[in-house]
Structure 1
Amino acid sequence: MALSPRLEIRQGQSLVITPQLQQAIKLLQLSNLELDAFVDGELERNPLLSREDAEADTADRGSDDAPEVEPGFTPDDQPGGAAEADMDVRHDDIYVDASPGDRATGDAGEATAPGADAGAMTDWSKASKGGSFETDGEDFAAGLSRDKTLHEHLRDQLAMLGLTGPDFTIASVLIDAVDEGGYLRADLLEVAERLGCDPQRACIVLGRLQGFDPTGVFARDVRECLALQLRERDRLDPAMQALLDNLDLLARRDLSGLRRVCGVDEEDVREMIAEVRALTPRPGAAFGSEPVQGVTPDVFVREDGLGLWKVELNADTLPKLLVDRRYHARVSGAARSDAEKTFVSDCFAQANWLVKSLDQRARTILKVSSEIVRQQDAFLALGVEHLRPLNLKTVADAIGMHESTVSRVTSNKYMATQRGVFELKFFFTSSIAATDGGEAYSAEAIRHRIRVMIDSELDNRDGVLSDDRIVEILKETGVDIARRTVAKYREAMRIPSSVERRRLAQAAF
């Protein structure tokens, strides 16, 4: 066969992941905080994007300077109908048929056009961060009402200690290495080597710092923390020191082992354990720290008067973006070079695409959440014992999407129900077969039943239940489960074994 160059035409199909499509897929798995940060970055990069100002929208809706926008998605829209027509339903390309176009979607409202007269809108009373005399007084009062942090408390004591020169430097470095619980999280030898000082000198400085309030601060482990507190109470005798050296026996409630290593009788051991329990294992926890951020739900589920469940998106977590068409028309008409025209065109296309991607993201979350509520309506009405086994494929097949899309939607998203706030992934649990071949049980429901049985052990005539006994009780109620599965669930819930629970019950009496 002769070899010669020739031309061939082939036809095929392939999925091309464009940067816009990658962005749309990324938006699906972002939490509301991550999404807000992403939108802030896009607002800085794209001059054609702006946030909707609800107050300005109400006051100036009829103004001629308002940007020309089209109404977009609102949380009251329900999945289905024409709104779902432009959503692809297979694999990851749920936005494959959408592209940057001329239509800008977004909630109707007003955005201040860049280049407008900013002087007319300037509030000179707030131009300086220093504020007026009144605002200075408010800031001073707010500073006084703030809780003092542990590091501030330690530095105040350091100032009164009177250390100078290298000792003051060593103490400052050690204070910086204290965590929120009051423990020293730095190796003393490494600190001495880094500062070029004698390790013995660093040890002496640490000994002086360990006398600071609260007692137990600057400890390097739990044993040392408890020892510092007991030494202050003049209770660190040899027997108590032996108990601190064998905290593993105390954790296992091994009273006989503690009696042996401490050389005391059972009554003395119980008194020593009571003294240790009265101590503070985290002395720095009483001081102010960064406030814990609460979970903001993305979806609300409410029951209407007809016994049905209504699913709504949380409007506060949805970024409200507008595309300023009037400003686009102004700057595009003023563009002269090809680079300027390309920049304006790209910004307009990216703005349109981002607004539409956010619209599709909201609709996808609502669609997936509605199907989860439909599948788990028994849990919402009756409780965790009625949670059904559910996997991603079941939800994906029901709503016509791919499993990977559902997985991204359920990541870092939360649903507020009458039974609490749950991550969407909470509703996806594995199944445990029934002994009679009937409907399978949810693994989460079985974990709940195991916890209920263990919590009610004191009221049970059988006393402390072993894993084998729990298996027998579950099989009597129709649950086909293995002993190792019960042990795995118990350990995941941080419930001690039956031996440790029996020792704990004996110690309580």
Structure 2
Amino acid sequence: MSITTKLELRQAQTLVMTPQLQQAIKLLQLSNLELTEFVDGELERNPLLERSQDDDPAPGHERQSEHSNGADSYDGHDGRKSSSESDGSDGEGDGEWLDLQSKDSTASNDSLDADPGDIFPDNEASAPPAQPEPAWNGQGLDMVRGQGHDDGDAPNLEAYVAQSKTLREHLSEQLNLTITDPVQRVIGHHLIDNVDETGYLQGDLEASAEQLDAPLELVEEVVAVLQTFEPCGVFARDLQECLALQLKERDRCDPAMAALLDNLDRLAAHDLPALRRLCGVSDEDLCEMIQEIKRLDPKPGLSFGASPAQPIVPDVMVRELPDGSWHVELNTETLPKVLVNQSYYTTVSKTAKRKEDKTYLTECFHTANWLVKSLDQRARTILKVAQEIVRQQDGFFTYGVRHLRPLNLKQVADAISMHESTVSRVTANKYMATNRGLFELKYFFTSSVPATANGDAHSSESVRHRIKEMIDLEQPQDVLSDDKIVEKLKDDGIDIARRTVAKYRESLRIPSSVQRRRLKRLALSATA
């Protein structure tokens, strides 16, 4: 048996996920804020990258390629190696204050079909504090105007704005003024550290006493003092105690009100007959007590140190043209503008002697070029997906939510010859400014609800909108049940099951017909 050696030439194709390709995929799913942070990091690491400040690249900065700006514009600095990019490719605030109660109350709440948000709506529970007034420096405006003019810059007015005080700082100041005993101060500071942002005391007092090696009675004594601090209601262990502290401050915690606080689960369920019997008051007195409860603050700590709300900046903007068509463009304000400094690379590479230095410069140059191309491709991909979404959902932009069509990722991906995963990444954390408001790109992707008589399917979002409209227009004497809503929708050509209506109603945080009837009766009693 002989053994022979031979050479064979084979050709095969393989897909390799290089670091550059992984980076390009990662950029697709970043929001504009995350993209800005990422680009800032690259600018710090790569000496060949620099931020572009104007529309035309400076001498020595290489252009990438010329791109025409069509009607559906992508304004990315003409796609130069400085690349201006836009971003690539349903949440709701939960004010369920009963979560702060004990598990026993929660269990009772569930048995009563209670909706916690019915007592303290999110928009009333904790309104953000007013912005603090600018701090006065005591020197008048002349001193402010004199700042920063040596180099021709305008004064930095932000330096003169008072910083908002945090809840912990506010409580610590009161502690230092109220308690002089050093042992009680240590306990007080420990308890302040256990207060969450809403003002509630977290953790068990026995565990705190054991950790501090202090008597439990002394810890409870300090808690009693801390509960007199402002804002009223802080250091409460649950919602009932928080409301009780505020009512005691107003000298309104009588036996009837105490009985009402002991039955917050029934209040959430709007079980007025049971509350009236337990409190021993008339309908009129009960309505006044409930209104007084609603005027209290269930989260007193949020009035301090609340971070200002960050507005959502749209990545894509859509506006109507005179001929009725829709113009889609990227928001250039959200696009990082970076350039590859070609002249600096040429100069430095000539002076580099060591092999390591040359390798480092070459890697920086290739990385910078790849980043610019990735940003450019990312922006174009977003624009392409957004244009297809607008084309598919033109009825929504023209007539409103009722005309939103069922749409999925595959339909858009097939239309623009991309993979579904790419479209999914592009639509993640991206927002579109339209004539009907600001929407996340994923909002336009909805499941379908079949139609009766073989008609066109309906978007689940449009069906939810119809359900909300029906409930908003219902009369106190004619509250719609889920079965009645099903009948009305079928009359409109929508084939839907009762359990689906219930699911959509719950997703909209709309109470059941029984709870809505109680709410409307309560509202009528309050206005009578």
Same fold, TM-score > 0.5, yes or no: yes
Aligned position for 2:152: none
Match of 1:204 among 190, 215, 221: 221
The unaligned stretches of length 5 or more in structure 2 are: 85-142, 149-154
Q: Deviations over 1:94-148 (max 9, x none)?
A: xxxxxxxxx972259xxxxxxxxxxxxxxxxxxxxxx999549x88995564443
Which whole-Å CA distance do the structure 2 matches of 1:242 and 1:180 have between them? Answer: 28
Structure 2 partner of 1:239: 256
Match of 1:289 among 306, 316, 324: 306
2-structure distance, mates of 1:8, 1:336: 42
Q: Tell me what 2:15 maps to.
A: 15
Q: Counterpart of 2:455?
A: 438
1:12 shift after superposition: 3.0
Matched, 1:105 2:81: yes
1:310-330, Cα deviation, whole Å (9 max, x unpaired): 011011111111001111111
Report the equivalent of 2:504.
489
Give, in angstroms, the shift of residue 73 of structure 1.
7.4
Residue 479 (1) aligns with residue 489 (2): no
CA contact (8 A) 1:185 1:220 kept: yes
Contact 1:75 1:313 in 2 (8 A): no
- 1:416-455 to 2 correspondence within 5 Å? 416-455=433-472
Q: 1:133 to 1:396 in 2, by over 3 A?
A: closer
Q: Deviations over 1:326-380 (max 9, x none)?
A: 1111111112122111111111011000000000000000000000011111111
1:257 positional shift: 1.9
Any conservation in 2 of the 1:301–1:418 contact (CA below 8 Å)? yes
Cα gap change, 1:144 to 1:346, in 2 (>3 Å): closer
Distance in 2 separating the partners of 1:76 and 1:262: 71
Residues 132 and 383 of structure 1: is their aligned pair in 2 closer, same or farther, counting only changes over 3 Å?
A: closer
**Closer, same or farther: CA 77–334 of 1 in aligned 2, 3 Å:** farther
The question of whether the paired residues in 1 share the 8 Å contact of 2:449 and 2:460 is answered with yes
| Structure 1 pair 425–47 and aligned structure 2 pair: CA distance change class (3 A) | same
Aligned residue runs from structure 1 range 369-380, under 5 A: 369-380=386-397
Structure of higher RCO (CA pairs closer than 8 Å, 6+ residues apart):
2
RMSD (Å) for aligned C-alpha atoms? 2.9
Equivalent residue, structure 2, for 1:172? 189
**Structure 1 residue 240: deviation in Å?**
2.2
Question: Partner of 1:216 in structure 2?
Answer: 233
Contact 2:73 2:330 in 1 (8 A): no
The two structures have a TM-score, normalised by structure 2, of: 0.80
Q: Map 1:318-397 to 2 at 5 A.
A: 318-397=335-414
Give 1:30's aligned residue: 30
What CA distance in whole angstroms lies between the structure 2 residues aligned with 1:144 and 1:355? 38
Percentage of identical aligned residues: 58
Q: Distance in 2 between matches of 1:295 and 1:393?
A: 27
Provide the C-alpha distance between the structure 1 equivalents of 2:367 and 2:460, rounded to a whole number of angstroms: 45
Deviation of 1:21 after TM superposition, in Å, equals: 0.4
Q: Deviations over 1:290-318 (max 9, x none)?
A: 11111010011011111111011011111
Q: 1:69 to 1:262 in 2, by over 3 A?
A: same
Letter of the aligned partner of 1:27 in structure 2?
Answer: L
The aligned residue for residue 47 of structure 1 is 47
Alpha-carbon distance between aligned partners in 1 of 2:180 and 2:161, rounded to the nearest angstrom: 28
| Change beyond 3 A, Cα 1:73–1:424 | farther
Deviations 1:400-425 (A, max 9, x none): 10100000000000000111110000
User: How many Å separate the matches in 1 of 2:40 and 2:371?
Assistant: 12
Task: Tell me which moved more, 255-264 or 340-349.
Answer: 255-264
Q: Distance in 2 between matches of 1:239 and 1:499?
A: 26
Give the stretch that moved more between structures: 481-490 or 152-161: 152-161
Cα contact 1:67–1:323 (8 A) shared by 2:
no
For the 8 Å contact 1:79–1:367, the answer to whether it is kept is no
Structure 1 counterpart SS, 2:317 = strand
Q: TM-score, normalised by structure 1?
A: 0.83
- Residue 72 of structure 2 contacts residue 329 of structure 2 at CA under 8 Å; is this kept in 1? no
Give the 3-state SS of the residue equivalent to 1:293 in structure 2.
coil
* Residues 455-474 of structure 1: pairs in structure 2 closer than 5 A: 455-458=472-475, 463-474=478-489
CA offset at residue 225 of structure 1?
0.5
Which whole-Å deviations, capped at 9, do the CAs of 1:241-274 have from their partners, x for residues lacking one? 2221221100010012213333444444333222
Q: Which moved more, 1:286-295 or 1:410-419?
A: 286-295
CA distance in 1, matches of 2:397, 2:224: 57
Gaps in structure 1 of 5+ consecutive residues: 84-102, 109-130
Q: Retained in 2: the 8 A contact 1:385–1:445?
A: yes
Aligned equivalents of 2:28, 2:391: Cα separation in 1:
21
d(CA) in 1 for partners of 2:175 and 2:389?
Answer: 57
Q: Given the alignment of the two structures, is residue 154 of structure 1 paired with residue 130 of structure 2, yes or no?
A: no
2:174 touches 2:229 (CA, 8 Å); kept in 1?
A: yes
1:69 has 2:62 as partner: yes
CA contact 2:449–2:494 (8 Å) conserved in 1: yes
2-structure distance, mates of 1:407, 1:141: 40
Find the aligned partners of 2:147 and 2:199 in 1 and give their Cα distance.
35
Aligned ranges 1:117-136 → 2 under 5 Å: 134-135=146-147
8 Å CA contact 1:182, 1:282 repeated in 2: yes
Matched positions, count = 457
